[in-house]
Amino acid sequence: MGKVAADSGDVVEAVRRYREALKLNPDYDQAMNNLANILKDQGHLDEALYLLQQATSLRPDFAAAWMNLGIVQASLGHHTAAETSYLTALTHRSVYPDCLYNLGNLYLEKGDHNAALATWTNATSLKPSLAVAWTNMLILLDSQANINLPLMLLTKHSRLLPHLILWHLPNEPALHFNLANTLGKLSCYQESESHFLLATSLDSANANYWVNLGVLYHRWHKYDRAQQAYVRALSLNPGLKSARDNLSMLLKATGKISR
């Protein structure tokens, strides 16, 4: 009954039912795990931590509980303990892309960008539809372009990712958007444009996609297209400061009058 309530979005009822289940059976590890997940999302990390420690103690091969324990420990800033929990989960379930995704997030928090990228790569190789891992890889590559990651590694992933995304997730606009930003920073303007256009075709009402397409055209010296993209962004979100500022800058630079 707790699971049915949780699946329907009634977390108050779910918590009540899980607590009742644990009163009836204090060693019910699955109820501990499920209750801890809700408490974690509600910000009750200390109780979630206690429940997951109990669950993994009762069932040492409970891979999902170990992963969830790692998530809670990471949220509390216990990075070493979180890494141990994630790795323990992976020893009990070798094919566990969601755990690899969370482990990659932990490496990112610790500043080990190469390990994060490698771990997310493993996650997507096991589960190509894991959009959050693809997105994090793209965001990392975008933020690290020509800064910390070796250029060869950066170029390798930037060139490989488009083909993988088009094959596995052709209709995820956020992935095309983040990939376009990464390619744009590498001055791969045509490839960047193609992914921006895909993102805007898949989610045409997203003003942020249009303003970033405008930035690409702006840098590419395609000023008329940049202006059109900024105007489209402002038609969707008149209060979007980045679009308004960029349009004003463009009009001044090209000798047009801003109105």
List the single range of 113-122, 125-134, 229-238 with lowest mean pLDDT. 125-134
| Tokens representing residue 220 in the block | 């590419």
Query: For position 166, what pLDDT does the model report?
Result: 61
Q: By C-alpha distance, which of 81, 130, 134 is closest to 106?
A: 81
pTM, to two decimals: 0.70
Give, in words, the CATH class of 1-90.
mainly alpha
Residue range 44-60: mean pLDDT, rounded: 98
- Which residue ranges make up each domain of the chain? 1-90
Q: What is the pLDDT of residue 227?
A: 95
Q: What is the pLDDT of residue 150?
A: 41
pLDDT in tens, 137-182: 878 877 765 444 444 444 455 555 555 666 666 788 887 888 888 7
pLDDT tens sequence across 240-258? 999 999 999 999 888 764 4
Residue 152 has a pLDDT of 42
The pLDDT of residue 120 is 93
Which of helix, strand or coil describes residue 198? helix
Q: Which residue, among 110, 99, 169, has the nearest Cα to 138 in the 3D structure?
A: 169
Q: Tell which phi-psi region holds residue 150, choosing left (phi > 0), alpha (psi between -120 and 50) or beta.
A: beta
Contact call for residues 247 and 211 (beta carbons, < 8 A): no
The pLDDT-based confidence of 69 (bands split at 50, 70, 90) is: very high
- What residue type is assigned to position 215 of the chain? V
Q: What is the average per-residue pLDDT within 52-80?
A: 98
Stretch 37-63: mean pLDDT: 97
CA distance 141 to 42: 31
Q: What is the pLDDT of residue 134?
A: 84
